[in-house]
Every structure is written in structure tokens, then in C-alpha cells.
Structure 1
């Protein structure tokens, strides 16, 4: 299907009509032969309507005659394109086998159309893809998946993050901090998990929506630029949501406050509303380059890996590529 530049819907229709059961993802020779027997009479009739040579084949002259009789543009370039499309042999001729291989892949309803129009259109007309619609469902799914993944990783790593913050803010020795881990391990976990869930969910959703908008607005824009611009916009907006939660988390981890409510009231009294956004500039300078570089590295590394293995990546391979890209971006 890909070699013929046929739409993916043709592949889905072909598999749907030939598979042995609803859950099957492949077809066997018996299913293919059954479909062949159904379609071949129609394909043979279509082939005989063309201007065939005495040997029952098609050369450039016969193709030009067929184009003329169908009222289609008649020129050498179109005839050559049609020969190339069906993989003409070394003598520049098309046999019934070439024609059948092409027609067999088409949906059944297309077989009733004029074969000259079908062949000409497939060989010479460049399909203009329709605008990519922004599916609210897919964006929400991406946002939820991104938020849950980040929240889970944050909850697992929070005790280590708390230890790091205490080491930076305390004069206690490392053994003393280890002994206090049960008391400080979960401090600040609520704002940390909520902040990561909301910010990364928002970032992932905006990233997917921004990509679709950019593809429609500027379809000629290189993919790496689309990735960079979408990542930049999504990261800036995501950080705006995360910063207040990050401030509360760090103050709870440092032991300045005992609970989330006290941290909110205390921050408001000490610094006012702007206190919740303390360190925004430094965070943006750190996070934006990291996420933009990370997303671009991930996209390019994934394409390179798929090119090497010549197939779609398995889930664990995708995770490995993502981990490698994140590590390189961190450098």
C-alpha cells in the first residue's frame, strides 16, 4: 500500500475484508485467495476495456490511446508516469498481472469506476492531505497520560528530592538526615504531586494541540521547528502552573511550615501573591531549554531508531529512547 502511495484507509479496508475473524491482525493465503476470486472477474472486465495490443499487453502507445478515449490529458509524461506506477517490465509493457496487482488493493466500490481514471489519478495526481483536525478527545488523553506519568514518577522520587532539599538547606550531617527520613520523607508531597500532574498534563495537552495548529497553519514548516515551537509554548504555560506548587513544596521540605494550609497562609502574609512565583525567571531559564532540546532529541532519536530497525518501536524501546534523549538534554 505504501509503495503504491495509496491511503491508509485502503489498507484498513483490505484487512477488514480479508481477515478470518474480528480480532485478527493479519491474513493468510486462503483469505487472500478468497478475496482474489471475488474481485478478479471485475478486474478482468476492467482490463479488457483498455486499448490492449494484440498480445494483450499495454505499451506507451496503447496508454496514450486509452487516455485520449477517456478524455484525459494526453502526453508522454503522463503515459510514462502510468508505466512507472505499475512497474512496467524492461520492454516498457504492462501485463494483466501488473494491472491486477494494483486493482486488487483498491476498495471494492472503486472497481466499478473507469479503470483509466483510477490508474491516471493514482499515477499522476498528488493527493493534498485534508487539514488535520484537532481532536479534543486525543488532546485530553495526552494531557491525562502526561499528568499521571509525571505524578507517579514524582511520588516515587519525592523522598529523595526531600533529602536533597534538606541537605542544601540544613547543617545536619548526612546520617542525621537519614535518621529523620521517616518524618521528612512525605513533607510537601501533596503540592509536589498536584503541581507535577497539573503542569505536565497542561504541557502535554498544549504540546499536542500546538503541533496540530502549526501543521495546519504552516504545513511546509520542518518537523523539528514544529516540535521546538510547540514545546516552547507548552513548557512556558506549564511552568506558570507549577511554580506556586514548587514554592510550597520546597518550604514544606525545608521545615519552614508544617502543612499545606499553613504554607499558603504564611507565604501570602510574608511575600504576598508574588511570593508564589518566586524564582520563576530562573526556572524558565532552566526548564525551557531542557524541554525544547529534550523533545527535539526524542523525536529525531525515535526516527533514527525506527530507520535502523526498519519497523515501529516496541514500548520498551520507546522508553529507552526517551530516557537517552532526556539524559542528553540534561547535559
Structure 2
């Protein structure tokens, strides 16, 4: 009798032979060859042959992943990152309708993302960070219902963040930092049931945090929230305490005012709170020392240097507040550098 290991080997070999004899869908072959013609020798020196999924003794093209679909092979992943692609976004990519992963990060792509991006209905990961993409994010990106990871940081996007991003029910990670977005952060993003990480830092965004978390039940799965380095105004709303899964909160370098709500202590998973260099005082200096910190049952590292005038503590001084005892093993780090005004 044939052993189980031998049987498994025969099955795998059969699958490989079947895959090898499948023809690649003509639509995908045409699309990849159009991309090959547009990218130049720097990228495609290893793209040998006419079939991106491999042909005979020729292997699949570097960065191209294929899978069988009936009697055909289709392209399911395209990863061409850090290969110095220069010029407009290759629109032919949007003809690869079975893509689940598109990674073109760390290149020199310019111009806007084409509106045809909405055709990639099976896409789960879209990584275009570290390019020179411009103008607005097309609202058609909200048609990618299976998208879980969206990386658009370190580009030149401007105008407003499209509220159509709230139409992505599977989205978990949204990176929009280091762009030129203006306007308010769409409160509709709070309706995303699976969003864990939202980073809109280092833009030109305005509005208040209260407007972002205006509905009870907003951001039910959010763990990391980065709003720093924008032009947000108003206070830190007590509604933040409703984000019970929050672990990291960056609010530094905005124009916030008012006091820090003591309700933040009830976010049991919150580990890091950064409020560095806000332009207006968030509570008086002594109130912060004597009233605020006593509400937090943690050991806390803190940096207290006034925005103007003599420092309360020496620059870069870090200390453990003596009257705080830790009831949990995690450390609560406050970064309040240049936090207070005279």
C-alpha cells in the first residue's frame, strides 16, 4: 500500500503539474505586459517571457503571485516595492481583477490614484505609502469592500479625507499620516466595526475631537489613535473614555485647550498618552500635579516642561510620581513636554 507521505507527495505533484499546464488568463497576461512595457528596465530585468505566471521552464515574474482558478491561472498578488518605479500610477494594474494584494510602496509614483482602482473588488491589502501620489484620494476606493489594510502615508494627498472610506466594513488598519489633508476627519470613520489603527497625524486637519467621536459606540475596535501634528482645537472630550479598547493615544502638537478628563483613567487598556507641546494650557500646572495625577492608579513617567518660562522640572527629567502606586503591571507614560503655558 502507498504510505500517507507518498500519497501526499503524489497529490502535491499532481496539483503542481495541473497548475503548470493551466493557461494564464489572457486579461492578466495583457495587463502585466502593459505594466512591463511602461516600467522600464530597472524593474523588469527579471521579467522573462510573455507569461507572468511562468511558462515551461520559465519561473513566474518576480513580485507576481498566481493561483489556479478552474482551468486558468490568475494573478492574485503584485508586489513591486522599493524598485524605483518612476512616473504615473500604472492604470493597467486595475485590470488585474483577482488581485488580493497590491504593494507598490517606496517608489516614485506620481499623479493621482486612478478612479479605476474601484474595480479591484477582491483587494484586501493596498500599500502605496512612500510615493509622490497627489491630489485627492478617489472616492471609488470606498468600493473595495474586502479591504483590510490601507497604507497611503508619506505621499502628497491633499484636500479632505474622503468619507467613502467609511464604506469599508473589513478595514482594520488605516494609515494616512504625512500628507497634506485639510478639513475635518470624517466622523463616519467611527462606524467602521473592525478598525483597530487610525493614523492621520502630520497633516493640516482641523476641527475637534468631540466632532470625531460624536456618536456613542464610535470606533468599537480601535486600539491606536494618532491625531498628533495637526490643528485640532477644543478640549479633550470625556467621550474618549468610551473607546474601551484604546491602548495608544497621540494628541501632541495640536491647539487643544481645557483640562484632561479624569475619565480617561477608566480606559483600562490605555498604555500611552502623548500630549506634547500643545499650544494652550490643558489645566494649570499645580492642578496637573496635585489634582490630575492622583486620579491615575498607575506608576507614571512624565515630562513636565512649561511651554514658556522656567521649567517645573529640569529639561528631559523623568521621574516616577511618589504618590502613585501601580495596581497593574503596565506602565502609563505621559509625555507633556512644553505642555503648559504661563
Higher relative contact order (CA 8 A, sep 6+): 1
Higher helix share: 1
Larger Cα-atom Rg = 1
TM-score, structure 2 length as denominator? 0.24
Higher strand share: 2
TM-score, structure 1 length as denominator? 0.24
